[in-house]
Amino acid sequence: MELTLTSEERELLMEILEEHHRELLREISRAKHREFKVVLKNKEQMLESIVGRLKARQKEETVSRAA
pLDDT digits (tens, 9 = 90+) for 1-52: 888 888 899 989 999 999 999 999 999 999 999 999 999 999 999 999 999 9
Residue 34's pLDDT is: 96
- For the entire predicted model, the pTM comes to 0.80
Listed in sequence order, the residues at least 6 apart from 18 whose beta carbon sits closer than 8 Å to its beta carbon are: 51
Residue 52 carries which side chain, given as an amino acid letter?
G
Q: Decide if pLDDT at 59 tops 90.
A: no
Going from N- to C-terminal start, the domains of the chain cover 34-67
Measured from the Cβ of residue 5, the count of other Cβ atoms closer than 10 Å reads: 14
